[in-house]
Structure 1
Amino acid sequence: MAKSGKELDTQSVVAFTVLKRAVELDSESRYQQAFVCYQEGIDLLMQVLRGTKDDTKKCNLRKQITGYMDRAEILKKYLDQEKEDGKYHEQIKIEENATGFSYESLFQKYLNETVTEVWIQDPYIRQIHQLYNFLRFCEMLIKKPCKVKTIHLLTSLDEGSRKQQQSSGLQEIKESLQNHGVLLELEYSSSIHDREIRFNNGWMIKIGRGLDYFKKPQVGYSLRSEYLTLFFVSF
């Protein structure tokens, strides 16, 4: 369904807000974070371009997109060289109310077709929004180019009133993943505190807040093809 002019205008404002943040991060030499925002902003602006009918506006949008893409490509080459030289160590701090930090934009660069197994350690996959977070992360893992077949989740067991909610939610996610040919192995521990994600291609990510850094989506526990673009961060 085509978007209305008002919807396109709103999305355009959001896109340029994300790109403005990218330029700010770029000027502060926070290149990895800038690259993430450039990617997110360009994607949003491309969606606006596809829905725009006015030729003059389309021409201006193409010029702006090209400029941002050129800068993003320069940053990508720089970051790739840093990785190749063994100097790559990234620390990303997501500020309150920041946008452009979806799971895809943060983790996709570590994923390729060699990733078949993932280990997630997060003590707080309990409440409804935390279960949604985990589901959305699993959605990302089964998209191309990944060939994930097994996901291991180590979390803590809720012994309170939400125990049944946690158990049934994780079971629904497990069954949904099975329908996509992916095995979810669950393990519980009362002593874990650290949060980390490991891929079997060698990458390890220490993630301070775990997967719980954006507001909960309002849908059920089933995999879906569409993906939220904006995430509102609260620390």
Structure 2
Amino acid sequence: MNIENAAINILKRGVELDTKKRYTEALVCYQEGLQILVDKIKDEYDEATKSYLRKKIGEYMNRAEAIKKLVLKQKEVGQFHEQVHIENNSTGHSYKTLFGRFLDEEVQYVIVEDPYIRSFHQCQNFLRLCELLVSSCSNLRHIELITTKDGKSEGDQREWFSYLQNDLIKYKVQLIIKYSDTLHDRQITLSSGWIIKIGRGLDFFKAPENKFCLGVYDMDLRQCHETTVDIVHSKNVKQSYG
């Protein structure tokens, strides 16, 4: 029954997200939960249990299909909007958890606008994002970062970007750095049309209490500052990129 319980917990989380209109997150939960039930039914011999599982699979599958159609329709008319509120000191908000579901083979370029990719820990956050992009987007060809110069440690900032540029080339990904003195927006734009707007930009994680506590490396275990994440979709992204 442990397997079934795991599926139920994931599907319940899906319903919870569905109710909050966080449809793309709900869809991930439904798909994971359904896969567990589908695998379980193959090894089930009791007909009553099989019948019950089939019924549940059918119900959740119908809802998952309805959500897919709803998201597609909202994308078509430019009305898709999903919001995640990150509470102060909460955990479970790594970049992968927040928007990893949008990172796939469709993504060929990514534009990151964030005025605060300057200090060491901020540049490390950007590095974490680059690692996630490279490991998730098989057709990624370039990443563009628009940020501001750090007057105090501009030399270090340039050096860190240079290291990263050289390393990304090994993965056939070009890193383009642009500087703007007037940049205020904080958003990540994917060539597939998804736009992730994070109120605090990439720098919403709190510093770990020490170097040997949970959350030093696994960002899902790191406490966060309060911020809001808005996810929208635009069909004009590909056309607007020169």
TM-score, normalised to structure 1, is 0.63
Shift in alpha-carbon separation, 1:120–1:94, aligned structure 2, 3 A? same
Look up the SS of the partner of 1:129 in the other structure.
helix
> Which residue is 1:93 aligned to?
85
User: Alignment partner of 1:212: what SS?
Assistant: coil
| Distance in structure 2 (CA, Å) of the matches to 1:173 and 1:216 | 23
Distance verdict in 2 for CA 1:167–1:154, change over 3 Å:
same
**Larger-gyration structure (1/2):** 2
Conserved? CA contact 1:36–1:106, under 8 Å: no
Task: Pick one of 96, 118, 122 that aligns with 1:130.
Answer: 122
C-alpha distance in 2, partners of 1:164/1:101? 31
Deviations 1:116-155 (A, max 9, x none): 1111111100111111110010011111343211111111
Q: CA deviation at 1:183?
A: 0.9
The corresponding residue for 1:116 is 108
Counterpart pick for 1:190 among 181, 184, 193: 181
Question: Which secondary structure state, in structure 2, belongs to the residue aligned with residue 204 of structure 1?
Answer: strand
- Give unmatched runs, 5+ long, in structure 2: 1-8, 37-56, 212-216, 227-242
Quote the offset at 1:110 in angstroms.
2.2
Aligned to 2:97, which of 99, 105, 118?
Answer: 105
Asked if 1 retains the 8 angstrom alpha-carbon contact of 2:86 and 2:224, the reply is yes
Shift of 1:216: 5.5
Q: CA deviation at 1:78?
A: 6.2
User: Within 2, Cα distance between the matches of 1:159 and 1:97?
Assistant: 31
Output one character per residue of 1:168-215: Cα deviation in whole Å (capped at 9) or x when no partner.
222222222122221111111111111122111222232221111114
Aligned counterparts of 2:106 and 2:159: Cα–Cα separation in 1:
31
Separation (CA, whole Å) in 2 of partners of 1:216 and 1:175: 28
Alignment RMSD (CA, Å): 4.3
Aligned match for 1:214, one of 205, 208, 226? 205
Between Structure 1 and Structure 2, the one with more strand by share is 2
Kindly report which structure 2 residues correspond to 1:25-174, keeping only aligned pairs within 5 A, or say none. Answer: 29-32=20-23, 35=26, 79=71, 83=75, 87-160=79-152, 162-174=153-165
Distance 1:212 1:20 in 2: 31
SS in 2 for 1:134: helix
Q: Do the aligned residues in 1 keep the contact of 2:187 with 2:196 (CA within 8 Å)?
A: yes
Separation (CA, whole Å) in 1 of partners of 2:225 and 2:24: 18
- Gap regions ≥5 residues in structure 1: 1-15, 47-65, 220-225
Residues 97 and 234 of structure 1 are in contact (CA less than 8 Å); yes or no, is this contact kept in structure 2? Answer: yes
What is the DSSP-based 3-state SS (H/G/I as helix, E as strand, rest coil) of the residue aligned with 2:200? coil
Counterpart residue number, 2:233: none
Secondary structure of 1:234's counterpart equals coil
Percent identity at matched positions? Answer: 39
Contact 1:151 1:182 in 2 (8 A): yes
Greater shift, 149-158 or 208-217, is seen at 208-217
Q: List per-residue Cα deviations over 1:6-65 (Å, max 9, x = no partner).
A: xxxxxxxxxx9x9998876666x25349639959xx89xx9xxxxxxxxxxxxxxxxxxx
Aligned residues, how many? 197
Q: 1:231 aligns with which of 200, 222, 226?
A: 222
Instruction: Give distance in 2, aligned partners of 1:215 and 1:156.
Output: 22
